[in-house]
A and B are shown apart, each in its own frame.
Chain A
Amino acid sequence: MRPWIDRARFGAGMNLQQQERRSARIFLVSMCVFLALILGFPTLANIWFSFNEVTFHNLTGDGFIGFRNYRIALSDPRLWDAVGYSIKFAVICTVFEVGFALLLVFALHPLLLRRPWLTAILMIPMMVSPALMGVMYRLILNEFVGIVPGYLEKLGFTLNFLSLKYIQFTVIAIEVLQWTPFAFLILLTARQSLPYDLEEAAAIDGATGTRFNVLVVLPLIAPAIIIVSFIRFIDSFRVFDHIFVLTGGGPGNSTTSLSIYIYKIFFKQNDLGPAVALSMTLLVATLALLYFGLKLAVRRDPA
């Protein structure tokens, strides 16, 4: 044994590795420069704008006005209505999507194990642009030519899903119908990664059917449930496309989510300051939420 040679080789390896790490940084340059230009620069500009008086015609912003833009933006009661609406929308959608997805995993897992290609049929809605999905629902729910009211009428129900009375239900239902497949796909993947003999082992202990699903499967896929709930909550909270296409935020402001609210105050008023200040506030709030959310997630899952 000649340990000094091994030690020498080991030492050289460390240096080489460090050297490699340093030269590998060059491969990050293009992505970092790109993101800095497209996202970093506007963020800095946004900070500048948010403390200045800016209009579409005066973009340099020559008057420093401190926190006035923030005060104006945050004191508008319609903002808090929009925040409330987004939270309510996101919570309801997430609960229904994850709940339905879970039930579907329990019901369909054995079938899809034998015929995996059937899964693709259930994935179709999430390939479709939410904006176009909104337009398609406008077509099939239309009270004159729509297929849904047409057949419901034949069954004796007269419903206009796009009317004031049902529009809240409709925009939530569309989101749930389009994105339950996503939650389903994630939970199905988690379910399929469980060992095959689990079911037999549980059957010996007397856990079959529903008991097996609730007592054995549910705890094992709980991490996936938490992650998918988190993703769906964030995506639903920033909802814009299908609501904008269907209602434009109305009637009144009854379906104005936070994204739609910011869009409206930016494009319908020449006073850019408050809109900019608001988007900065949302950025900081989101980053804070992510930071603490991740801290929790990391504590939960050290891998």
Chain B
Amino acid sequence: MIVSETGPRDRIVGVLRWVIFAVVAFVINLPILATVMTSFKTNGVINTSPPPLLFEPTLEHYIEVLGSGRTDFPGYILNSIVIGAGGSLLAVAVSFPAAYAIARHGVGRSWLLPLVTNIRTLPLIIYAIPIYLMYQLIGLLDTWTGMILIAATISIPVALVLFVGFMQDLPIDLDEAGKLDGASQRDILWKIIFPLSRPILVAVLFLSFITCWNEFLFGLILTTKEAVPVTVGATFFVTSYGVKWGATAAAMTLGILPPLILGLFAYPYIGKGMLSGAVKG
């Protein structure tokens, strides 16, 4: 039972908790709130000090960013969608069968699982240089393929940990029943485990997509023009459109929206994934 708060003192404590929640929620989300508001303000309103809280909203910055043809922003968004979707699908495709081998047959549990989960803790800059040189040699610099391979790589550790954790909780009787019916390991994986794993598959796809979308370092180093993702493209905005705060704010708002929407569904798994990575790794 939860200790109930009913007395006058308890009611004050209850209100205080709400106040703390409201202040914290406001402070940590302030940059997002302010940026979204700025994106709907006319240039005149943006340059008013202090920034007004009430104003007539305008879509002019969104039209400039997306529809004027004067920015490459729609291209950045397309790049991020392709890289995010390709990277997360690839990560799932290689880590799901591996998780089956680890969770159901214990193969590689002692060395592969810790090895892969530790990739997450390495400073990415270590790999930025050799991968840049390798991509230069084989012509993958500034391509979707090159970025998708990187996106998958950074998504695999958390995907693997979440899959292994999920499959361990599925009753082993399912496999035994399948075996009695003469199912091969491949059948058990794809016809029994896979359909049951739908919730975790969706969560992992969402999380991987967020990870890929938010990645910055490799995008900065490995792309220049054709495959630039939103995170890198948005910083071009600041330098080349320095004073155009409205357009920059509209670009930011569009750049943070997809992970925010997916994240609202997937956030309970973020803690789980990272925590189990640290515990088991």
Contacts and interface: CB of A to CB of B under 8 A. Distances in A.
Name the interface size band of chain B: 35 or more
B98 A31 contact: yes
Contacts of A43: 130
A74 interface: no
B237 to A, nearest CB: 8
Contacts of A292: none
Interface in A80-115: 104, 107-108, 110-111, 113-114
Nearest to A259: B125
A147 B50 contact: yes
Contact of A108 (B20, B104, B232): B20
B238 A203 contact: no
Contacts of B54: none
Identify whether the interface residues of A are mostly helix, strand, loop, or mixed: helix
Interface string A232-267: 001001101100110000000000001100110011
Contacts of B217: 240-241, 259, 263
A139 B256 contact: no
Contact of A136 (B31, B112, B126): B31
Interface stretch (B64-72, B196-204, B208-216): B208-216
A150 B275 CA distance: 40
Interface string A111-131: 101100010111111111111
Interface in B97-153: 97-98, 100-102, 104-108, 112, 114, 116, 118-119, 121-134, 136-137, 149-150, 152-153
Nearest to A242: B216
Contacts of A197: 1
A139 B34 CA distance: 9
A276 B129 contact: yes
A4 interface: no
Contacts of B183: none
Contact count band on A:
35 or more
Interface string B5-38: 1000000001001101100110111111011001
Contacts, number: 297
A273 to B, nearest CB: 11
B168 interface: no
Interface stretch (A62-70, A163-171, A175-183): A175-183
A28 B104 contact: no
B252 A132 contact: yes
A227 B278 CA distance: 7
B270 A290 contact: no
Interface in B42-59: 46-47, 49-51
A214 interface: no
The winner among B17, B18, B102, B121 for most chain A CB atoms within 10 A is B121
A44 B231 CA distance: 30
Given A124-B32, A177-B28, A259-B123, A147 B51 contact: yes
A294 B122 contact: no
A131 B217 CA distance: 9
Given A20-B105, A107-B20, A276-B129, A122 B28 contact: yes
Nearest to B43: A145
A272 B47 CA distance: 45
Interface string B148-180: 011011001000100000000000000000000
Contact of B123 (A182, A237, A266, A275): A237
A10 interface: no
- Interchain residue pairs A-B with the least CB separation, the first 6: A42-B130, A127-B263, A150-B50, A129-B214, A238-B123, A24-B105
Interface of A: 20-21, 23-28, 30-32, 34-35, 38-39, 41-43, 45-46, 49, 59, 104, 107-108, 110-111, 113-114, 118, 120-133, 135-140, 142, 144-145, 147-148, 150-151, 153-154, 177-178, 180-182, 185-186, 189, 196-197, 199-200, 203, 224, 227-228, 230-231, 234, 237-238, 240-241, 244-245, 258-259, 262-263, 266-267, 272, 275-276, 279-280, 282-283, 286-287, 290, 294, 297, 301
20 contacts: A24-B105, A34-B94, A34-B156, A35-B156, A38-B131, A38-B149, A110-B5, A111-B18, A125-B28, A131-B232, A139-B34, A139-B248, A189-B275, A227-B275, A244-B216, A262-B129, A263-B217, A267-B221, A282-B125, A297-B278
